[in-house]
Amino acid sequence: MLESLLRIIALARKELLAILKDPRSRASLLLPPVLQCLIYGYAATYDLNNVPYAVLDQDHSAASHELLARLDGSGSFERVANLERFGDLGDYIERQRALVVIQIGQDFERRLDAGESADMQVIADGRNSNTAGTAMSYIGAVVDSFNTDWRNAHGGGGPPVRIVTRAWYNPNLETRWHMIPALIGTLTMLLTLMLTALSVAREREEGTFDQLLVTPYRPGEIMAGKALPCMFVGVVQATSVLLVAQLWFRIPFAGSFVTLYAGLSLFLLAAVGMGLLVSSVVATMQQAMLFAFVLVMLFTLLSGLTTPVSNMPTVLQYFTLINPLRYALDITHRVYLEGAGLAQLTPELWPLALIGAVTLTAASWMFRNHLA
Amino acid sequence: MTIRNVIGVRWRSKLRRTWALIKKESYELVRDPSSVAIGIVMPVILVLLFGYALSLDVKNVPVAIVLEDSSPDARELASGFQMSPYFDVTLIASMPEARQLMLARKVDGIVRIRPDFSRHLARGDAEVQVLVHGTDANNACIIQGYAQGAVGQWAARRTAEGNKLASGPVVVQSRLWFNEANDSHYFLVPGLIVLIMTLIGAFLTAMVMAREWERGTLEALFVTPARSDEILLGKTVPYFVLGMIGLFLCIIAAKFLFEVPLRGSIWVLTVVSMFYLLVALGIGLLVSSVTRSQFVASQIALLVSFLPALMLSGFLFDLRSMPVAVRLISYLLPARYYVALLQTLFLAGDIWSVILPNAIVLAAIAATLVTLARLATRKKLA
């Protein structure tokens, strides 16, 4: 037992040295996650704060000015032009000079004063319909508050029903609070899975894997010796992303680091298991990298990072059950934002452990019986 | 022999050598299952995923309605939510129970109608509480918007029934140009083309070339009479063809499978796609000849081409809302110009004032990168 442990440590140490000896691959292990976290932390947001809009105000009344001033004051909109002619509306949208154009008709204030409802025409560029929809809902909110105040000022009584919304765990509904914790798992998986897949594929391509097989090492020990250094690198990467999230973006952390790291270790076990499984079926480094990449891409797209899992078709929702990243995202979000403890995370933790166990067993069986 | 003949012979032998190299590389490409996987299988998987699996249009959001008031008004409001196609409503008797459901993420939102709802409604200061699970902020925003809509419609219905409840002095009439159906496939599927072209052009090429550098097989080619630009051409042409196949697969899928309109000209689309493919190939060649290691080359190719194409191109996230520094970085990345072209050509049509500037920038980047790649692949030993 002790001997076996010593052997594993020796192999793990040699693997770690092999990974870290090349300064370029050393740099490519730490720099990319930190850089990506910084850039995507800013880039990956569905919130809008600089919507260029153009306006055709044919009324030029106090009411229309008041409404537009509210839009300008909301902080999300930037008026790029005051249009004069109706024909210019289409031009501004087509040429992408404005995301939204607003038209207020001549009788806007007159109708309001008469107690009728007045139309405000809003046209949005639907080339990215998600962005357009968000901009529309911002405009809706501004108009709502305008309506309320107008009614109060003109004696129409308050609105029939006020909607009071509260968001749990993320009071201002910032996408960044969702995105950055998610990057811990996503960025770590990309590199860990590839690194693992490569570590065995490289030895196979160079023929040194056969040499390893004729040593007193048992297959399980070889697996452990390969898996541990990659998990270690993964933990270091996760920590670097976590540091950026904490020190630079200052996302509030509600849970405990022990829980987070426990979850991450299981996630890394599953990711490393997947990587070893890939490397056990491929013949060359190039294949290992390509298959690992395809896998990572599928896992990323079907994890709920960019689009919610609940929007996917049922069949694919089942597929997400074997996706380690899906559980990792759940764990980081729940620990980060909800402050969940280990007991509450059980539904996410045991599938990860299961995926890790199954993939590692399968990989070691493949190594033993499939010496190509 | 006249001078013209000499030039003719030189050109002919140059062509012959290049053609031979192209054939050799094509064989190697077809022989390796992993290249075919990335070149053909991957685009198909991606098209199906983006077409069928990924959607930003929220439907059937599970929400719990806590109906603490049993008056007709309150029940009518609750049925407004039940009728909405956006919600999948469960009626819950008590708030603690609803909280449990939300904690377990069985529901994404709670609508609470308090016991004194109808009394307050008569007085004109009624309140509906909407609680959303904020972990996925984008989703939560959309749910809030839908909840507002459901209550608004209920209010409008009441107005129509003669209860004195105006829907609001100012009514927003909104229209979405280019995507009247508000279908997120309209921008996801064209945007996918940029991902596939980047994968084939930059990622695959970087790895293939890096392997040649790593194994020293390029040196074997260097001792042949083939010149470095011929070698480069022989390497890139098969991947160029593969990339164009990927492009046409996507266009066909977009048009016929997902019925995304192609309102611009397919020729313009083809030409600008060729520019972008050249850019991607240039990145791939440059990265591989600088790093000369498969692992590092693949990481860098991902870092400078694929991930920016996903995150910093305007494909998913709006570029105008990013901080200035990130926006400046995005100007350096060719993907943003191509995404602007794709979205315009597919959904808006041939709008030359958008197409020309973007296409020119793309062509300029392509020319620069190809020249740099040529310089970096001169016949020399490391």
What ipTM goes with this model?
Answer: 0.78
In this structure, the answer to whether residues A29 and A178 fall within a common structural domain is yes
In this structure, the answer to whether residues A25 and A145 fall within a common structural domain is no
Give the integer Cα–Cα distance in Å for B40 and A218: 39
Pick the last residue of a domain from A153, A185, A204: A153
In this structure, the answer to whether residues A182 and A60 fall within a common structural domain is no
First to last CA, chain B: 40
Would you say B354 and B344 are in contact if contact means Cβ atoms under 8 Å apart? yes
Domain presence at residue A98: yes
pLDDT at site B247: 87
In this structure, the answer to whether residues A101 and A147 fall within a common structural domain is yes
- For the cut 80, the answer to whether the pLDDT of residue A247 exceeds it is yes
In this structure, the answer to whether residues A12 and A70 fall within a common structural domain is no
Q: How many CB atoms lie within 10 A of CB A21?
A: 9
Domain presence at residue A354: yes
Q: Identify which of A46, A190, A310 has the shortest CB distance to residue B317.
A: A46
Please enumerate in sequence order all residues whose Cβ is within 8 A of that of A51, keeping only pairs 6 or more positions apart, or say none: A76, A77, A78, A99, A100, A135, A138, B320, B321
pLDDT tens digits, one per residue of A26-55? 777 788 888 888 888 888 777 888 889 999
Count how many domains chain A has.
2
Instruction: Note the Cα B16 to chain centre separation in Å.
Output: 40
In this structure, the answer to whether residues A287 and A306 fall within a common structural domain is yes
**Inter-chain residue contact A121 with B173, CB threshold 8 Å:** yes
CATH of the domain at A94: 3.40.1710.10
Q: Is the minimum CB–CB distance between A32 and chain B shorter than 8 Å?
A: yes
In this structure, the answer to whether residues A103 and A140 fall within a common structural domain is yes
Tokens at B305, concatenated: 């081409």
Domain presence at residue A159: no
pLDDT tens digits, one per residue of A129-154? 778 888 888 888 888 888 878 877 77
Q: In order of start, what are the domains of chain B with their CATH numbers?
A: 21-54+183-376 (no CATH), 61-160 (3.40.1710.10)
In a 13 Å sphere around the CA of A169, the CA atoms on its Cβ side amount to 27
Q: Is the minimum CB–CB distance between A311 and chain B shorter than 8 Å?
A: yes
Domain presence at residue A97: yes
Question: Computed from CA positions of residues A345, A348, A350, A353, in that sequence, does the dihedral angle turn out positive or negative?
Answer: negative
Give the integer Cα–Cα distance in Å for B380 and A108: 74
Tokens at B69, concatenated: 């008031």
Q: What is the pLDDT along chain B (382 residues), one digit of tens a residue?
A: 567 777 778 788 888 888 888 888 888 888 877 777 777 777 888 888 877 777 777 777 888 898 888 888 888 888 888 888 888 888 888 888 888 888 777 888 888 888 888 888 877 777 888 888 877 777 787 788 788 878 877 877 776 665 444 456 666 677 767 777 667 778 788 888 888 888 888 888 888 888 888 888 777 777 777 777 788 888 888 889 888 888 888 888 888 888 888 888 999 999 999 999 999 999 998 888 888 888 788 888 888 887 788 888 888 888 887 888 888 888 888 999 999 899 888 888 888 888 899 999 999 999 999 888 888 877 554 4
Q: Output DSSP code: residue B130.
A: E
Q: How many CB atoms lie within 10 A of CB B106?
A: 12
Domain presence at residue A160: no
In this structure, the answer to whether residues A87 and A189 fall within a common structural domain is no
Tokens at A310, concatenated: 């609940």
Please enumerate in sequence order all residues whose Cβ is within 8 A of that of B382, keeping only pairs 6 or more positions apart, or say none: B213, B292
The DSSP string of A63-117 is HHHHHHHHHHHTSSEEEEEE--STTHHHHHHHTTS-SEEEEE-TTHHHHHHTT--
In this structure, the answer to whether residues A229 and A363 fall within a common structural domain is yes
In this structure, the answer to whether residues A214 and A322 fall within a common structural domain is yes
Q: Output DSSP code: residue B10.
A: H
Q: Identify which of A39, A173, A307 has the shortest CB distance to residue B140.
A: A173
Q: Which domain holds residue A81?
A: 51-153
Within 8 A of A30 by CB-CB distance, chain B residues are none
A-B CB pairs within 8 A amount to 323
| H or E element in which residue A51 lies | strand A51-57
Tokens at A17, concatenated: 């040295």
In this structure, the answer to whether residues A14 and A135 fall within a common structural domain is no
In this structure, the answer to whether residues A217 and A339 fall within a common structural domain is yes
**Nearest C-alpha in A relative to B314:** A128
Would you say A59 and A108 are in contact if contact means Cβ atoms under 8 Å apart? yes
Phi, psi of B170 (to 5 degrees): -100, 125
Give the integer Cα–Cα distance in Å for B108 and A137: 19
Domain presence at residue A161: no
Please enumerate in sequence order all residues whose Cβ is within 8 A of that of B54, keeping only pairs 6 or more positions apart, or say none: A301, A306, A307, A311, A312, B188
Would you say A57 and A71 are in contact if contact means Cβ atoms under 8 Å apart? no
